Amino acid sequence: MNEKFYQLSPEKQERMINAAYKVFSQSNYKKASMSEIAMEGGISKSLLFHYFTNKKALYLYLWNNAIELTRNSTREYQVLDTDDFFEMLRRSLLAKCALMRKCPHIYAFTLKAYYEQQPDIKEVIQKSFADVSRISESRVFDTMNTAAFREDIDLKLMYSEIFYAVDGYMLKKYRNGVIVPDEIEQEITDLIGLWKRIYTGRENGSLWNINK
């Protein structure tokens, strides 16, 4: 990537990046075109190539940018500043929904990228995803208070089940063309309350008030 991209105003950078997220979230890697991205972003195709050498460079930049934006939002919402696993989930939800409001197509892009079949893209994305997931899981387990759970619960299995449940929920929303942050925030909050009852045996309290 050309470093001159970072010399653009934040508004121009954001417009260009959001345009790319939108186009790549609507088509697979092979079908999405730089011409369409340039048109969506209101710039010339030659200028887009000036900032990003080729489509692969832009695509991988978008993936890494999504990871960085997610990390920033996670820090902003202090996700790991509590040892309550379900409060971590709630804060993580708020962080992701806040990011989706700012970058409407970012989550759809990451879902599309995760299932991308283009060989050279797939290899990079899958490795990156595995690395990020491993680090994230490690930090959660290092932080959370395991004494809060029922003694018969396999915490690793619980973590995987919740992860795949949210992933499946978001994939369904994406395939239905309905990714509305406010709706997602409320529906997953309800699921978090259910998981808390199942895995701890405790009823919901004010913790699950979304306006807290």
173-193 residue pLDDT tens: 888 887 899 999 999 999 999
CB-CB contact of 100 with 91 (8 Å): no
**Which helix or strand (DSSP H or E) is residue 107 part of?**
helix 106-114
CA 212 – CA 147 distance, rounded (Å): 24
Contacts of 158 (CB under 8 A, 6+ apart): 149, 195, 199
- Nearest C-alpha neighbor of 195 from the set 139, 168, 155: 155
CA 210 – CA 186 distance, rounded (Å): 8
CB-CB contact of 20 with 62 (8 Å): yes
CA 124 – CA 135 distance, rounded (Å): 17
Say how many C-beta atoms besides its own lie within 10 A of residue 183's C-beta. Answer: 12
- The percent of residues above 90 in pLDDT, for the chain, comes to 85
- Nearest C-alpha neighbor of 1 from the set 58, 64, 40: 58
Round the average pLDDT of the chain to a whole number and report it.
91
> Residue range 48-52: average pLDDT?
94
Q: Could you tell me the CA-to-CA distances from 68 to 7, 65, 199 in Å, in that order? A: 19, 5, 31
CA 37 – CA 24 distance, rounded (Å): 8
CA 85 – CA 77 distance, rounded (Å): 14
Q: What is the pLDDT of residues 99-136, one digit of tens each?
A: 999 999 999 999 999 999 999 999 999 999 999 999 99
CA 117 – CA 196 distance, rounded (Å): 36
User: What pLDDT score does 1 carry?
Assistant: 67
What is the CATH code of the structural domain delimited by 3-208? 1.10.357.10
- Position 211 pLDDT exceeds 60: no
Please, which pLDDT band fits residue 201 given cuts at 50, 70 and 90?
confident
Domain ranges in the chain are 3-208
pTM of the model: 0.89
**Pairs from 157-166 (Cβ < 8 Å, separation ≥ 24):** 158/195, 158/199, 162/89, 162/195, 165/191, 166/191
Q: What is the DSSP string of 13-45?
A: HHHHHHHHHHHHHHS-TTT--HHHHHHHHTS-H
Say how many C-beta atoms besides its own lie within 10 A of residue 131's C-beta. Answer: 11
C-alpha radius of gyration, the chain, whole number: 19
